Structure 1
Amino acid sequence: MKIRSIVVDDEPLALEMVCKFVEKTGFLQLEARFDSALEALAYINSHEVDLMFLDIQMPDLTGMELARVLEGRKGQISPKVIFTTAYNQFAIEGYKVDALDYLLKPFSYEEFLTASQKALRHFETAASQASTATDDYIFLKVEYQLVKVLLKDIVLVEGYKDYVKVHLSGKNAPLLSLTTLKAMEEMLPQRQFMRVHRSYIISLEHIQSISKSTVNMGIVTITVGEGYKESFLQFINKWIQ
């Protein structure tokens, strides 16, 4: 597996060092380098990028702002982020944008490799889960085991920071899995599932009723989030006149 990577840092020496680290790592492929987050954003909008090594303190658009912009895109898979910064006060914010890791400058190649291996495990797991999704089931990490879940049984997925609740038809209690809602969104096939709120992914098969701003899943009625209304209205347009 080759992870398509870019490096973004406005400090020339830091940019050069991280690029060398990427080139030194066999499973990473350096696609581009940028000293501007705005230039990186333009590149990401027109190229496929898996992973971004991203500085935080930059002019015009900070790395944290870029991460938030990418996270807010609807219907597009955004690159995962490993922050590289000299400021440790951004660690909590990095967690909020689902960053894979947080490297505090100056860092060694060994520290860089540890973070990159975390990214490799993430993409290997995602690839494995995506392949099982084509067989109408996925495996979810529940406590200390992997549980097989049929896609047709998933009613909705509810996000809670670092874990999700997967509500299943015919089951009183949801499954709790240590993953993020964003990871679930990337894993589940779009032909069967739709994200309608920052905290909810729903199964189209299990919708009970819909309006222009809500969707009733039987166990809960969800108000469609502002950022998801356009895609949701496109979906229901053929049903509501």
Structure 2
Amino acid sequence: MKISCISIDDEPLALDLVEKFIKQTSFLDLKATFDNAIEALTFINKNEIDLIFLDIQMPDLSGMELARIIDGKKGENKPRIIFTTAYNQFAIEGYKVDALDYLLKPYSYEDFLKSTTKAYQYFENKIDSEKSTSDTKADFIFLKVEYQLVKVMLKDIAYVEAYKDYVKVHLNDKPNPLLSLTSLKSMEELLPSEKFMRIHRSYIIALDHIESVSRNTVQIGSATLTISENYKDGFMQFLNKWIA
């Protein structure tokens, strides 16, 4: 498997180093390099790219701004990002845009290889998942919890709650939710829409676990969750199908 990639950095030496490391790595296929994010965005919009090595501090359009634009694109085939930066204070922001990894300058080829191996495993798992779901849909997801990936069965999820830079995944029959460093938007894209629905800027619920519905709330277990006006019409369309 080859991973198509580009590199974006306004520092010539840094850009040359990434290009050198990419060419040393057999599973990477370098398509282009850019010294500014605006030209790179034009290229990304016209070409299918798997992976972007992206500096953060750049003039005109920063790497983080470009990452937010890419993260906002619809569809499952948007490119993934590995940040390459000298500033470690952007790590949390990187997780918010679902970056695969964060390389802190100056980094060695060993650091680069660890990061790109993680990317290779991600794309390999994605291909395997697509193959396995061509006939049947997966009944589980993996969540980043602390320093590991935790397998969670979909049937066990009661609801998902936004919590600062994290989400809380509340599970049936477990008192404490799983705390995962991701966004509610990413969870909404990950969870199957026939089983889960967003009812509030802070909540995604499992439709199978609804116990009762009042005018503006849903009861799931001991939790009473508000249905906001922005999501009420979509929820009522679902509910009207099942009203006797």
User: Does the TM-score normalized on the shorter chain lie above 0.5?
Assistant: yes
* CA displacement 1:26-70 (0-9 Å, x = unmatched): 222333332221233344445443321101111111112222333
**Cα drift, residue 188 of structure 1:** 2.6
Name the SS of the counterpart of 1:40 in structure 2: helix
Instruction: Report the aligned-residue RMSD.
Output: 4.0
Deviates more, 1:48-57 or 1:88-97: 88-97
Which residue does the alignment assign to 2:140? 138
| Match runs of 1:1-241 below 5 Å | 1-71=1-71, 73=72, 75-77=74-76, 78-126=78-126, 134-138=136-140, 140=142, 149=153, 151-160=154-163, 164-168=167-171, 171=173, 173=175, 176=178, 180-181=182-183, 184-195=187-198, 199-206=202-209, 209=213, 216=218, 218=220, 219-222=223-226, 224=228, 229=230, 232=231, 235=234
Name the SS of the counterpart of 1:18 in structure 2: helix
Change (3 A) 1:32 1:238: farther
Change (3 A) 1:123 1:193: farther
The answer as to whether partners of 2:199 and 2:235 remain within 8 angstroms in 1 is no
Change (3 A) 1:233 1:162: closer
Change (3 A) 1:123 1:194: farther
Task: Give the AA of the match of 2:119.
Answer: A
Q: Structure 1 length as normaliser, TM-score?
A: 0.69
Alpha-carbon distance between aligned partners in 1 of 2:140 and 2:51, rounded to the nearest angstrom: 24
Q: Structure 2 length as normaliser, TM-score?
A: 0.68
**Cα drift, residue 176 of structure 1:** 2.1
Name the SS of the counterpart of 2:56 in structure 1: coil
* CA displacement 1:69-107 (0-9 Å, x = unmatched): 333x26444433211123344344434444333223332
**Cα drift, residue 123 of structure 1:** 3.6
Aligned length: 230
Identity of aligned residues (%): 52
The answer as to whether partners of 2:67 and 2:81 remain within 8 angstroms in 1 is yes
Alpha-carbon distance between aligned partners in 2 of 1:187 and 1:36, rounded to the nearest angstrom: 31
Change (3 A) 1:2 1:173: farther
Deviates more, 1:154-163 or 1:13-22: 154-163
The answer as to whether partners of 2:96 and 2:165 remain within 8 angstroms in 1 is no
Alpha-carbon distance between aligned partners in 2 of 1:198 and 1:26, rounded to the nearest angstrom: 43
Name the SS of the counterpart of 2:32 in structure 1: strand
Alpha-carbon distance between aligned partners in 2 of 1:18 and 1:146, rounded to the nearest angstrom: 32
Alpha-carbon distance between aligned partners in 2 of 1:83 and 1:145, rounded to the nearest angstrom: 20
**Cα drift, residue 110 of structure 1:** 1.7
Alpha-carbon distance between aligned partners in 1 of 2:224 and 2:48, rounded to the nearest angstrom: 36
Alpha-carbon distance between aligned partners in 1 of 2:5 and 2:20, rounded to the nearest angstrom: 12
Change (3 A) 1:34 1:152: same
Change (3 A) 1:152 1:94: closer
The answer as to whether partners of 1:8 and 1:54 remain within 8 angstroms in 2 is yes
Which is higher, the Rg of structure 1 or of structure 2? 2
The answer as to whether partners of 1:129 and 1:139 remain within 8 angstroms in 2 is no
